[in-house]
Amino acid sequence: MFKTISENLKKGKKEGIYREELDEEIISLLHLSRIERVPEDKVIPVYEYISPRSCNEIFEYHIRGIANEKGIVYLEKKLQTNQTGIKTIIS
């Protein structure tokens, strides 16, 4: 999974939608550790993490942290295109 996350970050940088200065290794480790700790989280139950509402919110939060201006514009277009009462980014 680390490799997949890292490759996505490199691809996003190459496509000009992720921040050029971000460190793929650190961001990949951070993202992976959040995913792996879901079952152990005592604050938010697992079923809440996997709900469509939560997944989309977490995904948007993550993308806003790694995207550059061009990436944010793309994200905003996706959000507007998919407005159906619940924000849906992941299709």
Segment 28-62, tens digit of pLDDT: 999 888 877 766 767 777 777 678 888 888 889 99
Q: Report percent pLDDT > 90 for the chain.
A: 49
Q: How far is CA 35 from CA 16, 20, 21, 81, in A?
A: 26, 24, 23, 27
Within a domain: residue 66? Answer: yes
What's at 54, amino acid-wise? S
Q: Work out how many domains the chain is built from and give that number.
A: 1
- Is the predicted pLDDT of residue 88 greater than 60, yes or no? no
Segment 10-19, tens digit of pLDDT: 999 999 999 9
Residue 52: give the domain boundaries: 2-81
Within a domain: residue 90? Answer: no
Within a domain: residue 42? Answer: yes
List the structure tokens of 77. Answer: 């277009």
